[in-house]
């Protein structure tokens, strides 16, 4: 029951945050994180292309990626698993590259920029590595890298969990953002490592 409950929670968060980018097309985007950006940056064409590429394709990756970890789907619908996998890989590579670019403009300066740039590099590498592994028939390596890849992808969820908690704790959004730039993904990779380690020893 606990395992099933965690799986439902995991899927729910992935689906909800995966759809979150649609909010930017439905209401005035000057809210949340974007409220901390300067008007000059918000009107910059290159930054806007990077921002929307990042959130749209990142949302797609988060939305479809969780289902790839379902043993039932892999066993019964391998063709669908492969198609969703291709959608996930393309979405991640585009979102990660865009994330690397906009990471240089992160609120909070070089500390938060470094955190998000590192996340982008790890997300891009683990996803590309997972794709190359499956092309070479290295199934176990592919599965290991995909766990790390989606752990990095899930940072979109954990960021939105940690940020309000840290903002209340520090009483300052800027200070909270410096911490969340790292906290949103480092623990995720630790969990991914433990999952992979457990899988290897089963």
**Mean pLDDT (whole number) for 18-30:** 74
Reported as a single tens digit per residue, the pLDDT across 114-163 is 999 999 999 999 999 999 999 999 999 999 999 999 999 999 999 999 99
Q: What's the pLDDT band for 202 if we cut at 50, 70, 90?
A: low
Residue 19 has pLDDT above 60, yes or no: yes
Please tell me which residue, 36 or 168, carries the higher pLDDT value. 168
Fill in the DSSP letter of residue 109: T
Contact 25, 51 (CB under 8 A): no
Residue 3 has pLDDT above 80, yes or no: no
How confident is the model at residue 32, as a pLDDT? 66
Q: What's the pLDDT band for 84 if we cut at 50, 70, 90?
A: very high
> Residue 81's CB: how many other CB atoms inside 10 A?
15
Contact 180, 135 (CB under 8 A): no
Reported as a single tens digit per residue, the pLDDT across 176-198 is 999 999 999 999 999 999 999 98
What is each CA distance from 63 to 8, 53, 140, 164, in whole angstroms? 14, 15, 23, 22
Rounded CA separation 83/130 (Å)? 15
Q: What's the pLDDT band for 200 if we cut at 50, 70, 90?
A: low
How confident is the model at residue 28, as a pLDDT? 67
Rounded CA separation 92/148 (Å)? 13
Please tell me which residue, 21 or 87, carries the higher pLDDT value. 87
Q: Name the strand (E) or helix (H) holding 90.
A: helix 78-103
Please tell me which residue, 202 or 107, carries the higher pLDDT value. 107
């Amino acid at each position: 029951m606990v395992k099933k409950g965690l799986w439902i929670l995991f899927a729910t968060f992935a689906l909800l945050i995966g759809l979150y980018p649609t909010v930017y097309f439905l209401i005035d985007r000057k809210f949340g994180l974007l409220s901390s950006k300067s008007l000059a940056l918000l009107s910059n064409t290159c930054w806007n292309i990077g921002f929307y590429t990042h959130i749209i394709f990142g949302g797609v990756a988060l939305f479809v990626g969780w289902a790839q970890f379902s043993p039932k789907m892999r066993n019964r619908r391998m063709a669908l698993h492969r198609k969703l996998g291709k959608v996930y890989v393309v979405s991640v590579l585009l979102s990660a590259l865009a994330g690397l670019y906009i990471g240089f403009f992160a609120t909070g300066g070089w500390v938060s920029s470094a955190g998000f740039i590192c996340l982008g590099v790890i997300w891009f590498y683990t996803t590309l590595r997972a794709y190359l592994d499956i092309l070479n028939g290295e199934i176990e390596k592919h599965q290991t890298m995909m766990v790390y890849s989606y752990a990095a992808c899930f940072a979109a969820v954990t960021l939105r969990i940690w940020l309000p908690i840290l903002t209340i704790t520090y009483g300052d959004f800027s200070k909270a953002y410096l911490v969340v730039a790292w906290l949103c993904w480092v623990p995720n990779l630790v969990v991914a490592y433990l999952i992979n380690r457990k899988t290897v020893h089963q």
